[in-house]
Structure 1
């Protein structure tokens, strides 16, 4: 199997990669060294430089606390989930409802369109959810307990032979 994988990589390098493009365009990279946050700002000048780096006003820039989580100078942005953003705004990236170059929340992947929405009013309260859970589970349990008095089995009659007391088959060899 490993040999097949090696052959596949060799074939893809030789025939499928466009040799007229630079190597940086033919390989996929998901991380850029420029995306790494800088060290935690300690002076006002460092704070101003970090705010400029992320395209924020100095008044709006607040870094995460320096608690060893590794956020560095990344700004502490308010949570704005996908659903809370306007559908009618002209977004640069409309699939994600965001603009090009806009800084993202550190946990942005948890607030995309198919995930958590913290600000939306829930349709049902926690009390009604709990009551419905107990009602459904109680109904299933009651049906199960009621069904215990009606056992399920496969009805089987005794095997029928043409003549009683006679062996109809044997595993002994036939004598010639």
Structure 2
């Protein structure tokens, strides 16, 4: 206990009191709570007047004539933007975030994460029409069915010998008569003789 008192008194003597007082007003909770929610990120209520529409268009960086509202009350005044996939954007532009092909602060559709490079593309026309897709499905299914019917008479099996057991194929264990036990001649490495 004496050692603890001595170490504490030594520590307090070497610490300058003004350093301790300097940092007492700092708090991590104030810094975290101040940046937790930005009121500018939250969509405002739906604009009702032309002035509110112009202010909302300016807020999202759009011209007032290009600003259209999503008719969803939960999204507020968030604008309707066409869904454009990453693959349709200019690959040579110097983006702030090249992986997403986006600029900092750029407005994007609410379902933006659904149209990434590796996901669906709403503007893609596809390589095949729906009729070609259905016809291809039925052709592949018919090919498997035809192959199954042709190969059905030729079953696949592993060729193998019957399992061998010791002691004359377990003759006595299977209930055979010990007096009539057959003699099994095994193969040998000696040359065959004429008998």
TM-score norm. by structure 2 comes to 0.61
Q: Deviations over 1:109-158 (max 9, x none)?
A: 11111111122332222222222222222112222233332334565637
CA gap 1:145/1:72 in 2 versus in 1, 3 angstroms: same
Structure 2: tracts of 5 or more residues without a match: 1-27, 176-195
The alpha-carbon deviation at position 33 of structure 1 amounts to: 4.9
1:143 alignment partner, one of 139, 147, 161: 147
- 1:19 aligned residue: none
Q: Does 1:107 align with 2:111?
A: yes
The alpha-carbon deviation at position 72 of structure 1 amounts to: 0.9
1:86 alignment partner, one of 90, 101, 109: 90
2:63 alignment partner, one of 36, 51, 57: 57
2:138 alignment partner, one of 119, 134, 140: 134
CA gap 1:157/1:43 in 2 versus in 1, 3 angstroms: same
Structure 1 segments (4+ residues) deviating >4 Å: 22-25, 152-156, 158-161
Q: Whose RCO is larger (CA < 8 A, sep 6+)?
A: 1
CA gap 1:75/1:159 in 2 versus in 1, 3 angstroms: same
Richer in helix (by share):
2
- 1:97 aligned residue: 101
CA RMSD of aligned residues (A): 3.2
TM-score norm. by structure 1 comes to 0.67
Which 10-residue stretch deviates more, 32-41 or 50-59? 32-41
Structure 1: tracts of 5 or more residues without a match: 1-21, 170-176
Preserved CA contact (<8 Å) 1:84 1:120: no
CA gap 1:164/1:121 in 2 versus in 1, 3 angstroms: closer
The alpha-carbon deviation at position 96 of structure 1 amounts to: 1.0
